[in-house]
Structure 1
Amino acid sequence: MPSAHYLPLDPQASDADDLEEEEGQQEHRTSMNNNQYNIRYHPQPAVDYDVVVDDDDNDDDRTPTMGKAPRLSRSIPSRRRCWIMPIMLLVPFCIVFLYFMLSSQTLGLGTSLEDVDDDYEPHNDSPNTHALNETLHICSESHEDGRLYVQDKPSSAYAQLPVIYFVTPTYPRREQIPELTRLAHSLLHVPRLHWLVANDHERCDTYMDILLNRFGIPFTHMASPMPHKFRNSKPAPRGVANRRAALQWIRQHNLTNGVLYFGDDDNTYDLRLFTEIRQTQRVSMFPVGLIADYAVSGPVVRDGKVVAFLDSWVAARRWPVDMAGFAVNLGYMSLYPNVNMPYKPGYEEDLFLRSIGLHIDQIEPRGNNCTEILVWHTQTKNKKSPVVRLEKKYLDGRSNLGALFRSLKVMGVAFASDTEGPLATISKNGKGKPHSYFLS
């Protein structure tokens, strides 16, 4: 009799013929193969029970284990083997096939110029499949254009032009303020521009607020520090947190009219660049000078269409371009809610352009069909801010040195100390004199 824990199943009307046939063949199957059983579950005394081993001896007690369903025999009827075996053979083949397919895509193998025109899904990196959710720290902001004249015309003369949102990632160093100042004097000539300055700093920089206000260019100054977990990475994803913050600012303001451009603070810009990118419909591209081994990076154009790219570091990137080598229409970018720039050094441009579903046929070549250089990847050699030894008692109002070094300290350019660094030399008529000679 079955255990009280396993109630017999009542056969369904549709199963009557099968049940009668199985009962008629039970004796025949047992005699042909003792390892084959009926796989339909009908609890009855003949069920294969779990084996319970007594701790005192090794005799098998074939009593059912309470709370568990009876264990069916592991042997499989031959009629099931006929379709299980092909599946078992097919699964390893599929795994190997998928491995080679994914490997070839990752390494950039098997890709021809014709393949570039195929549709594809954006890059499947996990940071790239979700919308940005950055916390914004806005330090100061001005939407008013304080310039009365731009290129000898009043600012109101340009009211119908699309706005260029010029994103500049920057970080504290002794060259930061002079480079922002130099860049600002280029942007002063560009009408209808909003400058998004994202500083890699934990706190807002008051001096930078004053500086940006002084230029009169509409701007937003934000603090966008790199996450601590990336700071010790080699290489570190520099500028990513800054650009992500700017993208989040654009999203929060629901901007769908205008052009986005990423412009580093140490680049050199031809003013014609801004006229070229302002009419971007989807994504425009152009060559950038002084990039890596070829001293240039940019699209290859044939018959007015971008067909490939010239860059000395391909690295399986679908879009091997420099950050300063493209501009994006905000209306087009707004169609992709998961626009992103993951923290992956060397692949920031590629993964950003993948996240907006860019197709090579959509690229608009600029710069006279990419024959002219309108932006240069110039770089200032960074040096550590020096410490100059000056007697503190002389850094008061009796000379300009006190105010001068306080200003240099605020900008991060140089520091004065009573005890550290080389002794500052003050000279007259070609001869160095003690500080007291001039300042006491």
Structure 2
Amino acid sequence: MPSAHYFPLELHASDDDQDCEEQEQLVDTDHRSSMLSNQYNLHYHPQLADYDNDNRTTELGMGMAPRLSRPGSSRRRYWLPMLIIASFCVIFYLMFSSQALGLGGSFNDGDDDFEPHSGQGKRWVPFPYQVSEFKFLTNEHKIENQNSSSSHALNESLHICSESHEDRRLYMQDKPHSAYAQLPVIYFVTPTYPRREQIPELTRLAHTLLHVPRIHWLVANDYERCDTYMDMLLNRFGIPFTHLSSPMPHKFRSTKPAPRGVANRRAALQWIRQHNLTNGVLYFGDDDNTYDLRLFSEIRQTQRVSMFPVGLIADYAVSGPVVRDGKVVAFLDSWVAGRRWPVDMAGFAVNLAYMSLYPNVNMPYKPGYEEDLFLRSIGLHIDQIEPRGMNCTEVLVWHTQTKSKKAPIVRLEKKFLDGRSNLGALFRSLKEMGVASVSDTEGPLATISKNGKGKAHSYFLS
């Protein structure tokens, strides 16, 4: 990307200064050496030039004292040039400070030749409340962005519901976890939200992660408060985890499409920043995907950014890099939409040491462009991408989605949900998970059968 050049403003003599010099030349040379005439020159007002030149000799010849300009006029002569110079200084300051704070500039989507940030002289500059386009340059330049309606400042507050850094699993892949002590940690970020399928999908994902050594599971829930059932669930698996409450801002909930999962991932990025983590690998793993265990061995080797195909994506049923001679040269995706990096969220991993070079890493609230703008925020260049999965010939992650349905209400008299059967405890658990609930008056009547014949539940429970 071409450099942004700035030229200092040149200070020129103002018209008022030139007028002052001309007026000083109009002073009678006969009186130039006298103190009174010198004082007269200092306070000579340009607007009185014509009048004074015509009448000054007459006044002096009659013994009249030379007229001095009014104090207010002299102050105006003094302050006018100062105001002009101050205006130039303010304009000069605003031009440079706006660039430094990321309030100006635009992003050229067609420019693929910008250089990554070296990390020297880095500083944390919170993004403004609305961001959609970015320009990321070398340390010789400044990071710029252009305002739109897509992002909040990344340094929002965090709400940690529960956390455990202890790995209580005895074995992974037939080896004790101590055998993997030298491996870099994978920080596996899972955005999730309350729905009927939430707990089953997290359970399924957890049983994949149980086989992965040296992993920390960041589960960010789109919920206004902490979910105690999820706390219990995550703690039960013995995997090191952090449970975050990260609700989507209310102003985005009514937009179509809503930027689902962005607040969750931003919370995880903020958690990583607050812990100053620079050793390990970051991966965004949704709770409804299917993961091949080989994926984790592949992404653990990431030096900057690794990429790989994701199956079951949109019209082509796949999204991923195009590789020639071991290098990524382009991308295959059925929805390009001007994205420089048209990839799925599950199709890349980032080394934290590399990401730490970019203090303005961000994921804006812009549906469909979250991956693209995140990868732009870390200064990614196509030559830096590491193709994984046998040069992107294998699919190691699948975008399998569970069709979401509304949690049903079952009509079952609550008086029967006591200790006389298992149904009371079962439905209480289902309600905690958000899977189903019971009512005395709503929903289809619960039917219990025996020997192929259905009976009202009261037949067996009364």
TM-score (norm 1): 0.76
Q: Secondary structure at the match of 1:211?
A: helix
Q: Which residue does the alignment assign to 1:34?
A: none
Q: Which amino acid aligns with 1:15?
A: E
> Is 1:136 equivalent to 2:132 in the alignment?
no
Q: Which runs of 5+ in 1 are unaligned?
A: 1-8, 21-40, 48-66, 70-100
- Give, in whole Å, the separation in 1 of the partners of 2:201 and 2:17: 85
Match of 1:378 in 2: 400
In structure 2, the partner of 1:42 is 46
Deviation of the 1:44 alpha carbon: 2.1
Show the counterpart of 1:116.
Answer: 112
In structure 2, the partner of 1:405 is: 427
RMSD across aligned positions (CA): 2.9
Residue 21 of structure 2 corresponds to 15
Q: Cα deviation per residue 1:327-361 (whole Å; 9 max; x = unaligned)? A: 00000101111111010100000111111111111
Shift of 1:14: 9.4
2:201 is the counterpart of 1:179 = yes
State the alpha-carbon separation in 1 of the partners of residues 323 and 113 from structure 2.
14
Question: CA separation in 2, counterparts of 1:319 and 1:380?
Answer: 26
Tell me, in whole angstroms, the C-alpha distance in 2 between the residues paired with 1:325 and 1:176.
Answer: 22
**Residue correspondence of structure 1 range 267-416 to structure 2 within 5 A:** 267-416=289-438
Residues 420, 16 of structure 1: alpha-carbon distance in 2 compared, 3 angstrom cutoff: closer
Question: Residue 195 of structure 1 contacts residue 218 of structure 1 at CA under 8 Å; is this kept in 2?
Answer: yes
Change (3 A) 1:11 1:264: closer
Q: Is the 8 A contact 2:19 2:46 kept in 1?
A: no
Aligned residues: 357
SS of structure 2 residue aligned to 1:369: helix
**1:432 alignment partner, SS class:** strand
Q: CA deviation at 1:15?
A: 3.2
Change beyond 3 A, Cα 1:144–1:10: closer
Whole-Å separation in 1 of the counterparts to 2:16 and 2:344: 72
Question: Partners of 1:217 and 1:356 in 2: how far apart?
Answer: 29
Residues 1:382 and 1:14: Cα distance change in structure 2 (over 3 Å)? closer
Distance 1:429 1:303, change over 3 A: same
* CA offsets 1:372-420 (integer angstroms, 9 cap, x no match): 1010000000000000000111111101111010000000000000011
Asked if structure 2 preserves the Cα contact closer than 8 Å seen for 1:131 and 1:337, the reply is no
Matched residues in 1 for 2:337 and 2:357: separation?
28
Which residue number in structure 1 is paired with residue 180 of structure 2? 158
Question: Cα gap change, 1:374/1:68 in structure 2, threshold over 3 Å: closer, same or farther?
Answer: farther
Q: State the alpha-carbon separation in 2 of the partners of residues 251 and 437 from structure 1.
A: 60
TM-score with structure 2 length normalisation?
A: 0.72
Sequence identity, in percent?
A: 82
Distance 1:168 1:11, change over 3 A: closer
Distance 1:393 1:336 in 2: 60
Taking the aligned partners of 2:281 and 2:405, their CA distance within structure 1 comes to 34
- Deviation of 1:16 after TM superposition, in Å, equals 5.4
Q: Structure 1 residues 232 and 19 mapped into 2: Cα distance closer, same or farther (>3 Å)? A: same
Q: Which residue of the other structure, out of 244, 251, 258, is the alignment partner of 2:280?
A: 258
> What is the alpha-carbon distance in structure 2 between the residues aligned to residue 266 and residue 360 of structure 1?
29
Q: Distance in 2 between matches of 1:311 and 1:230?
A: 27
Q: Of 262, 265, 268, which aligns to 1:240?
A: 262
Corresponding residue for residue 420 of structure 1: 442
Deviation at 1:241, TM superposition (A): 0.3
Tell me the SS of whatever aligns to 2:46: coil
CA distance in 2, matches of 1:321, 1:134: 27
CA contact (8 A) 2:446 2:456 kept: no
SS in 2 for 1:222: strand
Conserved 8 A contact 2:151-2:363: no
Greater mean alpha carbon deviation, residues 120-129 or residues 164-173? 120-129
**CA offset at residue 119 of structure 1?**
4.1
Structure 1 CA distance, aligned partners of 2:159 and 2:220?
10
For 2:382 and 2:352, the matched residues in 1 are separated by: 18
Residues 17-36 of structure 1 correspond to what in structure 2 (within 5 A)? none
Letter in 1 for 2:265: R
Aligned residues of 2:409 and 2:443 also touching (Cα < 8 A): yes
Deviation at 1:133, TM superposition (A): 1.1
The answer to whether the aligner puts 1:218 opposite 2:240 as a matched pair is: yes
Give the corresponding residue for 1:61. none
User: Does the aligned pair in 2 maintain the 1:131–1:339 contact within 8 Å?
Assistant: no
Q: CA deviation at 1:431?
A: 1.4
Does the Cα contact within 8 Å between 2:23 and 2:49 map onto a contact in 1?
no
In structure 1, C-alpha distance between the alignment counterparts of 2:460 and 2:24, rounded to whole Å: 115
**CA–CA distance in structure 1, aligned partners of residues 266 and 160 of structure 2:** 14
| Partner Cα separation in structure 2 for residue 232 and residue 299 of structure 1 | 34
